[in-house]
Amino acid sequence: MCMMKTVTTSMSLAEELERLSGENGAKKELNGWRLSSSAPELGVQRARLVSKDGKTLLNNIQIPERFRQAYKWRYCRNWFHLIIECNWRTICILFLLGFIVSWTIFAVIYYVISRLKTVKKDESCIANVDTLISAFLFSMESQHTIGYGLRYMTDLCPPAYLTLCVQCVVGVFLQTILAGIVIAKILRPKKRRQEMRFSRMAVIGPLDEHDKRPTLMIRLADIQEKLFLAESHVRLYMACSKINSRGDRELIGVKDMNVGYDSGWDRVLLLWPIIVRHVINEDSPLYGMSRENIVKADFELIMTVEGIVEATGMTFQARTSFLPDEILWGYKFKPMVLMNEKLSKYEVHYSFFDQTERVCDFDAQTIETEETEDEHHHNASGFL
């Protein structure tokens, strides 16, 4: 009789959530998850297209000059979006420098006008502006309509009040742009994306207790408890590579793996952790592969989840990837949404998120399945 592997833990829910959302480098590299105790040790590190935390790991080599010029032009055209991608330290520095540079430029103009313009005796273009510091203060007061009254504009110098008109327009435009950058930065769902968690390992096991069809399964969770998502849906792709005649490994294509998009099951409900399923049938890229074939195969599974943040209506996408040695054959995920009979309430045990258990009666030979039309209707790829 086969013995199932189990893991016990004494972590509280708060400690577990803190572990899952850890910000230090080691946890970030592992996408916030520990390896399952039932998972084997990983072999030699393989090259990835997408990291576990969703970053694209591609290098652009020897870009033609015409592409570089086009890139520089697009860089200038997309400056607003590129600034939004900067960190908060850079945003704050730009915000501060934007106003200081504007005040300084107009202060120099006011100072030059006040010193060079000849007017009547005992009268000046700008009252009480006789130094560069006083010109700077007048520029700042004028741009933000502070108006202390000590320094003011007269009607003796047309260049001065024309400059004041230009500064008022520039000041409003500058405030609008900088405020828009800050608001757009705050509303970006980047942090929301980091709260999506994928299991460290994928598993291949039976669809359920009654349906023994082999199924690729990946666990997914949204650890944010208050900000729910709308219209969430998942996609799964297989990126394949091979060694060509010149001895170089090349990417030969990306295949789509059905997780229920033909029947609407790709639209997932992320109110609790779910398991995304891909039934391995004749249409699956994994069909006909054995356990040994999968370990030696040259492919990478890339999973994406997209959703709309209800609070802002903005869309985000989270990604992760799985190499062949990160797929467990003959395992299934341990249940983590369990009923507490005493409280008559369901509880989500996050300590079980990455825990798997061995399936004793799973066929470890080549993946070949036969399904009836009724079974396919009720147990199509999707989530549970």
What is the residue extent of each domain of the chain?
Answer: 88-187, 194-358
Residue written as tokens 């405020």?
A: 179
Q: CB of 383 within 8 A of CB of 277?
A: yes
Report helix, strand and coil shares of the chain as percent, to nearest 5: 35, 25, 45
Could you give the C-alpha distances from 351 to 4, 159, 277, 336, 358, in angstroms and in order? 17, 71, 21, 8, 18
For residues 238 and 217, the answer to whether their CB atoms sit within 8 Å is: no
Q: Is the pTM of this model over 0.75?
A: no
Residue 372 — very low, low, confident or very high, per pLDDT cuts 50/70/90? very low
In the predicted structure, residue 38 carries a pLDDT above the cut 60 = no
Contacts of 92 by beta carbon, 8 Å cutoff, 6+ apart: none
Q: What is the mean pLDDT of residues 320-337?
A: 92
Rounded to an integer, the average pLDDT of 355-376 is 62
**Higher confidence at residue 121 or residue 275?**
275
CATH topology of domain 88-187: Helix Hairpins (1.10.287)
In this structure, are residues 16 and 7 in contact, taking their beta carbons and an 8 Å threshold? no
Domains 88-187 and 194-358 share a fold: no
Cα(350)–Cα(337) distance, integer angstroms: 9
What six digits make up the tokens of 6? 């189990």
Residue the block writes with tokens 């008109």: 165
For residues 297-303, average pLDDT: 92
Beta bridge partners of 243: 249
The pLDDT of residue 291: 85
Q: Which of 110-124, 232-246, 284-298, 301-315 has the lowest mean pLDDT?
A: 110-124
- State the DSSP string of 243-290: E-TTS-EEEEEEEEE-SSTTTTTTB--TTS-EEEEEE-STTSTTTT--
Question: Is residue 286 scored above 60 in pLDDT?
Answer: yes
- 10 Å CB burial of residue 318 (0-12, 13-18, 19+) is buried
Give me the pLDDT at residue 225, please.
77
Query: What is the per-residue pLDDT for 106?
Result: 95
Joined together, the tokens standing for residue 194 give 């980091």
Level-2 CATH architecture, domain 194-358: Sandwich (2.60)
- The secondary structure element, H or E, covering residue 93 is helix 88-116
Q: Is the pLDDT of residue 27 over 70?
A: no
∠ CA 149-155-158 to the nearest 5 degrees?
120
| Cα–Cα distance for residue pair 76/89, rounded to 1 Å | 21
